[in-house]
Structure 1
C-alpha cells in the first residue's frame, strides 16, 4: 500500500493543534476525527470533529474513550457533509508513541486508516517530525510512519492550489 499523504490547509492544522491543546488543558489527552476526501493514497483534510463534541465524557478517564452514540453522531456528520474520516488525531502528555491501548483499540478499524499522535498535549510548537503516525493494516497490526516519514506524510502547505 502506498504511503500517500494527509494534506491540511494551514489554518485548519494550526486550529486543530490549538483546539487539542485547549481541550486537554495539559492535564489529559484530547482528540479529533479529521474529515475530508480520499483520492487513492492522498487524503485532504477539510474539518475536525473533536471527541468531546461527539461524547461529552470522552476525556473523563484521562485518555480518549468514546462511549455510546459517538460513532453514530460521527457517521451522521460525514453523511450530511459528504465527507469521510481521513484520520484520527489524539494527544499524549510526553512523546508520541503508540500505546498498547492505542494498538489494540483503533478508532477506525479499517485497513488504511491513519492515526496521528501529537506529543506534549499539542503544546506549541508542534513539529511534524515529532508526530507518531500509524497506518492500520487490519487484525490489530500497524505500520509505523513516525518521525521524518510523518513530516513527509502530513503536509501543511502555505496554500492549496
Structure 2
C-alpha cells in the first residue's frame, strides 16, 4: 500500500476536491497567463498531471502559445490541429495526461458559447477553469469559473459553492 503524509493531509484539508495543484505553481501559472495575454487578449494553458480514480493532480503546465505561436493572435484562444499533436507527444514523453485547462477572459469568468461548444479536450471529466480579468492580480478562488465536461457539449458548472472545494490549490496541492 502506497501513501504519503501530503496526500493524507490534502484529503483532510480539501476532502471534496477533484483537482489539486501546488499553490506556488498556480500563482506562477496565473502570473504567466497575465504576462502572455498582456492584459488585452485571452491566454491559456493545459494542466498536465495524473489521474487517480476521480482525483486529478497537476504536476506541470504547457501554455497554448508554446504549442501554437499564433494561439492568441485573434484575441481569443484558438489552437490549430498540429498544436494537439505536440501536446499529446509531450504527454507521452513525460507519462502524463491533460487533467485540466485554464484560460483567461476579460471581465467575469463566465463560460462563453464558444467555450461550451469547443472544449479544449472533449473527454468526459475534463476540467476547464476560467480566470477573470485576464488573470489580473489578485485572482480570488471564488471568482474562477470551473466547469467539468460531461460529453455531448454538456458541462457541469462547478463554480460558486463547489469551486473552492472542487479545485484545491493550496500548500498541500
Q: Which TM-score band (shorter chain)? A: over 0.9
The corresponding residue for 2:167 is 154
Tell me how far apart the structure 1 counterparts of residues 151 and 17 of structure 2 sit (CA, whole Å).
18
The corresponding residue for 2:25 is 12
Q: Do 1:128 and 1:147's aligned partners in 2 also have CA atoms closer than 8 Å?
A: no
The corresponding residue for 1:21 is 34
The corresponding residue for 2:13 is none
How far does the alpha carbon of each residue in 1:18-73 deviate from its partner, in whole angstroms, 9 at most, with x for none? Answer: 00000000000000000000111111110110000000000011000001310000
Are residue 66 (structure 1) and residue 66 (structure 2) matched?
A: no
Instruction: Report matched runs for 1:113-128 at 5 Å.
Output: 113-128=126-141
| Number of corresponding residues | 158
Tell me how far apart the structure 1 counterparts of residues 120 and 137 of structure 2 sit (CA, whole Å).
25
- State the 1:10 CA deviation: 1.5
User: Does the residue aligned with 2:162 lie in a helix, a strand or coil?
Assistant: helix
How far does the alpha carbon of each residue in 1:102-155 deviate from its partner, in whole angstroms, 9 at most, with x for none? Answer: 000000001111000000111111111111011110111100001231111111
* 5+ long unaligned stretches in structure 1: none
User: Does the residue aligned with 2:81 lie in a helix, a strand or coil?
Assistant: coil
User: Whose radius of gyration is greater, 1 or 2?
Assistant: 2
Q: Structure 1 residue runs of 4+, over 6 Å off? A: none
Instruction: Report matched runs for 1:19-98 at 5 Å.
Output: 19-98=32-111
User: Does the residue aligned with 1:152 lie in a helix, a strand or coil?
Assistant: helix
User: Does the residue aligned with 1:148 lie in a helix, a strand or coil?
Assistant: coil
Q: How large is the RMSD of aligned CA atoms in angstroms?
A: 1.1
Tell me how far apart the structure 2 counterparts of residues 148 and 50 of structure 1 sit (CA, whole Å).
28
User: Does the residue aligned with 1:97 lie in a helix, a strand or coil?
Assistant: coil
- State the 1:157 CA deviation: 2.1
Report which stretch shifted further, 3-12 or 55-64.
Answer: 3-12
- State the 1:4 CA deviation: 4.4
Tell me how far apart the structure 2 counterparts of residues 151 and 49 of structure 1 sit (CA, whole Å).
23
Q: Do 2:17 and 2:165's aligned partners in 1 also have CA atoms closer than 8 Å?
A: no
